[in-house]
Amino acid sequence: MDIYVVSIPRFRERFNYIHEHVKARSRRAVHAICVDGADPDSLPDFISPSAADRFSQGQIGCAAAHLLACHSIVASGADAGFVVEDDVCLPVGIDTILDKLQSELAADEVISLYNRTIKREKFSRVDAVQVAGTGISLIYPMQASSMRTSAACLIGRDAARGILACNRDLRYVADDWAAFHRTGAVASIRLAHPIPCKMKSFQSTIGYRSDVSLSVKARNLLLRNPVGRKLVTLRRQLIFWIKERNITLVDERSSISPAR
């Protein structure tokens, strides 16, 4: 299994960080997946030309990069691939964790090693699988929409093929797991819990908010000096810490569990 790193050289700090970090933590082959939504010429040839009309440049680049990663997983002939974005912090021993998770992975399944949500979401204890030697359980969200990021995902070959076929015209953003599950692109998605990966507190490059919004203006003002930058970083770290813990375990079977 190889690692596919979603990163853009234009964002040099993030690009350098993730490649150095992955190299330090893993001995696996690493492939740079570089698609810049601001550069239409960087979009993979297999993506529909009309696809760039729906989302922000950051969303386009991210979704297209994940499609390219899925294309690469399928083309590699491997059973699975691990896709990471450029702000992920991998745990020590990630190679061993990936080997053990792959032994539990179905070909048409995705296992996420990171998740955070705006509000508390329910995950099921029923059908949970304990991954030996890791302290990790694989749990189903009660709804696929509770999976909210594509930051660190172990993707089976058939799931990669399904996502590629489903989203070739970029109908969905990279982390719309509810859509991928609803359309049958992915048969199953589980969360590794407690989440083994964490996040660096980089500023988002996706571009969800308008540059003229009051919150963005206030943030940009703070970023002009070292103290302000530190405050912004601490605030972002606190938000991540809270959102990563928005998990409520329940004794009900998930609506997406194959055993249902």
Report whether the peptide linkage leading into residue 194 is cis, meaning its omega lies within 30 degrees of zero. yes
Band (207; pLDDT cuts 50, 70, 90):
low
Is pLDDT at 85 greater than 60 in this prediction? yes
Closest CA to 49 of 40, 58, 38: 40
Residue 250 lies in a domain: no
pTM of the model: 0.89
**Domain-located, residue 189:** yes
Q: Output the average pLDDT for the chain.
A: 90
User: What is the structure's pLDDT at 231?
Assistant: 73
Q: What are 228-255's pLDDT values in tens digits?
A: 667 767 777 888 888 888 999 999 999 9
**What does the pLDDT read at residue 26?**
98
Considering the domain boundaries, does residue 110 fall inside one? Answer: yes
**Which carries the bigger pLDDT value, residue 3 or residue 42?**
3
What pLDDT is stored for residue 63 in this prediction? 93
pLDDT at residue number 232? 66
Among residues of the chain, what percentage have pLDDT more than 70?
88
DSSP category for residue 123: E
Q: Specify the number of domains making up the chain.
A: 1
Question: Residue with structure tokens 């970029």?
Answer: 170
Residue 212 is predicted with a pLDDT of 54
Residue 70 vs residues 52, 67, 178, 192, 243: alpha-carbon distances, Å: 19, 5, 18, 20, 27
> Residue 9: inside a domain, yes or no?
yes
What are the CA-CA distances from residue 67 to residues 25, 75, 234 (Å)? 25, 12, 33
CA neighbor of 113 nearest in space, from 89, 86, 145, 143: 89
CA 21 to CA 198: how far, in whole Å? 13
Q: Cβ distance 138 to 194 under 8 Å?
A: no
pLDDT score of 208: 44
CATH number of the domain residue 191 falls in: 3.90.550
Count, residues in the chain: 260
Domain that holds residue 137: 2-202
Q: Is 6 helix (H, G, I), strand (E, B) or coil?
A: strand
Residue whose C-alpha is closest to residue 195's, from 250, 241, 159, 145: 241
Within a domain: 7 = yes
